[in-house]
Structure 1
Amino acid sequence: MQPYEERLTAPRSWWFASVLVGVAMALILLPFGTLPLLGGLVGGTAVAAVVTSAYGAVRIRVVAGSLVVGDAKIPVSALGDVEVLTGEETRAWRSYKADPRAYMLLRAYIPTALRVTITDPEDPTPYVYVSTRHPEELAAVLDSVRQSAA
């Protein structure tokens, strides 16, 4: 079995936007003097960077017979068909084709995704939508783990 681990991170432009938030805070605090200006620059940038990092730092793993996507841990035995999504299909499944009951690890800045159906009759979740930069590799690992478990 080949392990799989991917860490989704925010794009570089978001980090630049964090600096711009700091500059905006500095400009807001400019009338109060130099020290508040520097505090606004450092504090605004730090808060925006923490928010960017928290949103962007998501891990996707296949470990110990489970697909771990963010906070969700789904046993491979409960997974059904795997569909690699690219281009228009990715946009369709995160918008008008989306089911509100689905578990979606959605990152709009990642153009590819994987849709995995859930076969557990006790679980109301119809599928898992996972934004991933390597959907073919993740699909292959899930298939090999499923075959080795059978």
Structure 2
Amino acid sequence: MTTFRERLVPGVGTALALILLAPAVALVVLPLGFPAAAPLVAAVVVTAAAEALLFGLTPVIEVRDGELRVGAARIPVGQTGEVESLRGPEARHARGPGLDARAYTVFRPSIDPVLKIEITDPDDPVPYWLISTRRPDELAGALAAARTR
């Protein structure tokens, strides 16, 4: 049973920036002497493929079946401890100078809030997970609810 699910899709600015790929591809193809429509077709195909990859490969955060899943990583919720929601300067510090190199991280620059989730398994070398989420309170609540089950 899934109690939380979020896809970390890129921000609108990133998607719009990819549109600038179209004129660049057209300018590259134009001098190659293909028929007149080739630069336009190449620009559309390459830009659409880049957008599809960008959105298709975004990580998913889930709390499901007693596990926290972030991208390909999974951990039983029973091995998670204290959860801390960070925003603004605190989040920037946690992602930068305050980051432990052993931490598992999945964050996106377009998403400000991060959730710091302590890992309590003594055999796990990872001290915590630091995850971008647009809904930190909801994710923290889903983790707490899954731990009590």
TM-score (norm: length of structure 1) = 0.89
Structure 1: how far apart are the matches of 2:124 and 2:5? 25
Structure 1: how far apart are the matches of 2:30 and 2:2? 55
Q: 2:47 is matched with which residue?
A: 45
Q: Is the contact made by 2:2 and 2:62 (CA closer than 8 Å) also made in structure 1?
A: no
Unaligned runs of 5+ in 2: none
Q: 2:80 is matched with which residue?
A: 79
Q: 2:105 is matched with which residue?
A: 104
Residues paired across the two proteins, number = 147
Provide the secondary structure at the position in 1 that maps to 2:20: helix
Query: 1:48 is matched by which residue type in structure 2?
Result: A
Q: Shift of the alpha carbon at 1:146?
A: 1.3
Percent identity over the alignment?
39
Residues 53 and 70 of structure 1: CA distance in aligned 2, closer, same or farther (over 3 Å):
same
Q: 1:138 is matched with which residue?
A: 139
Q: Shift of the alpha carbon at 1:8?
A: 1.5
Q: How does 1:23-42 map to 2 (within 5 A)?
A: 23-31=23-31, 32-33=33-34, 34-42=36-44
Structure 2: how far apart are the matches of 1:115 and 1:10? 21
Q: 1:19 is matched with which residue?
A: 19
Provide the secondary structure at the position in 2 that maps to 1:3: strand
Structure 1, 65-74 or 37-46: larger mean CA deviation:
37-46
Structure 1, 26-35 or 132-141: larger mean CA deviation:
26-35
Runs of 4+ with >2 A deviation:
none
Q: Is the contact made by 1:23 and 1:44 (CA closer than 8 Å) also made in structure 2?
A: no
Q: Shift of the alpha carbon at 1:40?
A: 2.7
Q: Is the contact made by 2:105 and 2:129 (CA closer than 8 Å) also made in structure 1?
A: yes
Structure 2: how far apart are the matches of 1:46 and 1:2? 31
Q: Shift of the alpha carbon at 1:127?
A: 0.3
Q: Shift of the alpha carbon at 1:10?
A: 1.2
Q: 2:10 is matched with which residue?
A: 10
